[in-house]
Chain A
Amino acid sequence: MTLAAASHGFLSPTGVEIAFLLVGLVTFGAAVVTVTTRQLVHAALWLVVALGGLAVEYLLLTAEFIAWVQVLIYVGAVVVLILFGLMLTRAPIGRSPDADSGNRWAALTVAVASAAALVWVVVDAFRTTWIDLDGPAAGSTAVTGASLFQNWVLPFEALSVLLLAALVGAIVLSRKAKAARAGEAPPAKTSPTGASSSGTSPSGASSSGTSQTGGVR
């Protein structure tokens, strides 16, 4: 990274920056469609586009590791989980007339406010910082691993504990439901734990996957 902000104009039109902007527009558009479309499954699929666009943005910023993890966790697992849930409950083809929210204006306000806050914080923090795209990748796996386990190890571990707690909580909840049902009815052989553990698997996969590979470095 260089601090030579003066040598860069604001959005000097290099190829990467143009691509960054275009992909950003696509991502933004996909995100807007995600929350406005009346077709439930289409919303989930537009979410794929938005998350994929985000991954491309990471790639353009040389954060390769984050980009692929983004695809792996969000597109590969979270969206699949959402689609799974949708298909399991209700996924009509065509518009759902009730796929609307009464407090859309409140939601819009909150969204704009949080976006503004994030943009303001990021702009304020990195105003004069430029990523040198030609030099060694600033977001490669090695760099990410090193910084994660040297500078950010405490938040990382705290997050791991949080996810672990969620995992344990899910198991406890499903166990209780099973015990309660077993009390009133003859015990069934099929265990509901499979569903619950599959529900928590993406988070489990994300934490252990990243921690293991990062731990090597």
Chain B
Amino acid sequence: MAPVPGSGLAKGLAVTLRTMTKKTVTEQYPDAQPELPPRTRGVIGLFEENCTVCMLCARECPDWCIYIDSHKETVPAATPGGRDRSRNVLDRFAIDFALCMYCGICIEVCPFDALFWSPEFEYAETDIRDLTHERDKLREWMWTVPAPPALDPGAEEPKELAAARKAADKLAAQQQADQSGQEDRPGQADQSGQPNRPGQEDRP
């Protein structure tokens, strides 16, 4: 059936009129903060305690916007006659956000979970040089990092938990076996406590 001439015109008018009666999608930003989705990539926060100054982030950064200074400190041997251990101490950790392109490679590449995405986005400056933020500022942003959102209901179990559960199950089974065989060979039970460490540290 051919459409009535002008029905398209009327439909257009109806669409705009209907939109006018609906609630607008505008958010009054400075007055009302936006509701950001989880894992929003606003700015990069640093959790210094986890940093080992491995320099992976600085080397992987495509923009070379991460500056790291460090020095070595010698830790005296814990036991007499032992060897002194050396340790890296972070002196400076700065990210130039005028160069950063928010690719997130540094965060992905960090082996010790020292870098995190923070949803903070209001860090505009009037001078481009002020956009190089030092570690105290990066640390402040660390506290704005939200807890990771809960997994979807049907999601696969996280690898950390799976590994921990596997180890715990193994341990339980072994203890079971030990208890049943305790009458035969006492004195061997304590050695099985080792492998149940999860291996990965939890996030702070």
A–B contact at 8 Å CB threshold (below): no
Report which B residues bind A (CB closer than 8 A): none
Report which A residues bind B (CB closer than 8 A): none
